[in-house]
Structure 1
Amino acid sequence: MITLAHDLETTHHDLQYRLALASSARGDRRHPRDHYTAIDTFLAIASRHNAAMVDAIAPLVRDLPGGHDLAHDYLAASRTYEEALSQVKARLYGSSYAVNRPWPEIWAEVRRELDTVCALELRLAEALLDEDHGTEDLGTRLHHAELTSPTRPHPWIPHQGVAGHFARAVARRIDRFWDAAEGRMVPEPVRHHDRTHQGKLTQYLLADPHLDEEE
């Protein structure tokens, strides 16, 4: 069985790789928007994964005996991380709230919060390791949640319970509209056993290169 921890480690590796690409991307006078693709792709993947963890995995841990505090710590960290992601989006699109913040400062905050969230996600997976979930594979549960999660950061919407689930569903519909309107290509959620079905052309069109990983 594919374990949740294994899938999370694969996703974390991909997020770190995407963050490195995004933080080193630069536009120039001839192509001032060339850096948008790398940054926007990282934002989409990071936002989607974060929302899916909040929706699909954190509630399972919260319901465990002694799991409330761990779930609470994760939810607090994930919101702080989402706030950092929203600063990236604001800075990228020229919002007055972030236009004067230097990029190195913003990326340093994102790296710090991503590291915190990744460590807590692995603790969530460890807490669920010995639990009986019947025939359900939690990696598959997370993957399905990612497919229907928002692709932009929404730190100020409700995050828990029925209200949180409903708010994310609404946010996803809005994000899907703007993704289509802007022609935004969002790569599929990563699962370590799913990537080989994508040919080189598909990877190119999705701005999702992982050719070197399979060689």
Structure 2
Amino acid sequence: MSTLQLIWDSQTTYQMWSWNQAYGKTHHTAQLVRRVKKDVYTVRIGLRGMDPTDVVAIKVAHGKEALEEMEREAGFYEHQLKSLQGTVVPKLYGFYTTRVNGTPLGCLLLEYCSGPPVGRERIAEMNRKALHAAHALHDAGVLHGDLLSAHHFVPMGRDIRIVDFGVAVTHQCVNGLARRAAGHGLHHVCGCPELAALEDAYAHDRRFNTTLPEINWAESCGEDL
């Protein structure tokens, strides 16, 4: 069992637990820094008894339904997405739960992702990385379910990560391996609805009047993001 002492403010502290042996027998303290969006915040974290110094992201779920969705999301990170952590998706540092006045409360501790603004000169490059990451998800057997919402692609340095797997499902993709599209216009050969929609949006991005060059996915699918 591992524990997390989450200091929300000067008057509120939550004691949370995880029984997943993959996280080891660790005991951490995390202190809220700021809200990023909706139920996502940044915290400073450190070993219990020491000053919290490392900055990570924390996603919070209140109530039974939200916690069940978060538990599913944690399951994807721990299984299908495990090999993609730190390259295609953020690293998962832990999934913790507790109850507050009888109401379930949960949190995911994730790698905090940030990067510089994307200028027009890098749009094609980032579009390529978005498509690359989406193909990697499908190759791993995961359909995200909401990738056309661009906020699910977040910067990490000069690369990107895909986040938020609350509505994801397991998926045997008919065209999930990017290398299968080598040498073709992607929007013509893809048989998967999610990937086809992404390729239409990002390979020919009308929002910026930018078109990607044809990509040899056979050569690029092994690159680090």
Higher-Rg structure is: 2
Bigger relative contact order (CA 8 A; separation at least 6): 1
TM-score (norm 2): 0.28
TM-score (norm 1): 0.29
Q: Which has the higher strand share?
A: 2
Q: Which has the higher helix share?
A: 1
